[in-house]
């Protein structure tokens, strides 16, 4: 559902469920020459909070490690911008996309 949403907004999906020794990221996409690392969270209800709140500092650091690993192999020898987005999918089927949801952390 999130990948389909991104495709309808002119993103190219490069990888799904990309796994590394440091963890995984749900989607890696590209748009306008920018690599976009996307974490997707689903909640059938808000009983346990908004899905977007589930991407805490620890998860952000882990996604940054995964992105660093991917970027080193994918963009070797070239300069590419990258960013970190979060997509929340709600029980009613609605989607909320937050571009630049957080910044690279070491």
pLDDT (tens digit per residue) in 13-34: 999 999 999 999 999 999 999 9
All structural domains of the chain with their residue ranges: 2-102
By the 8 A CB rule, do 13 and 25 touch?
no
Q: Which of 40, 41, 38 is nearest to 84 (CA)?
A: 38
pLDDT at 48 (0 to 100): 67
Residue 101, φ and ψ in degrees, nearest 5: -65, -30
Q: What is the pLDDT of residue 36?
A: 96
Q: Which fold is adopted by the domain 2-102?
A: Trna Endonuclease; Chain: A, domain 1 (3.40.1350)
Question: What is the chain's mean pLDDT, rounded?
Answer: 89
Report the pLDDT value the prediction gives residue 39, as an integer from 0 to 100. 95
* Calpha distance 87→77 (Å, rounded): 30
- Three-state SS at 16: strand
Q: What is the pLDDT of residues 65-98, one digit of tens each?
A: 999 999 988 877 788 899 999 999 988 889 999 9
- Residue 70 near residue 18, CB atoms below 8 Å: yes
């Amino acid at each position: 559902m999130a990948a389909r949403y991104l495709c309808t907004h002119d993103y190219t999906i490069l990888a799904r469920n990309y796994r590394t020794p440091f963890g995984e990221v749900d989607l890696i996409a590209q748009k306008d020459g920018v690599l976009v690392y996307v974490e997707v969270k689903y909640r059938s209800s808000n009983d346990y909070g908004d899905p977007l709140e589930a991407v805490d500092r620890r998860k952000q650091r882990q996604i940054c490690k995964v992105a660093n690993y991917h970027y080193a192999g994918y963009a070797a020898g070239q300069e590419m911008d990258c960013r970190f987005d979060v997509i929340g999918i709600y029980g009613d089927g609605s989607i909320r996309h937050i571009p630049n949801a957080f910044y690279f952390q070491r």
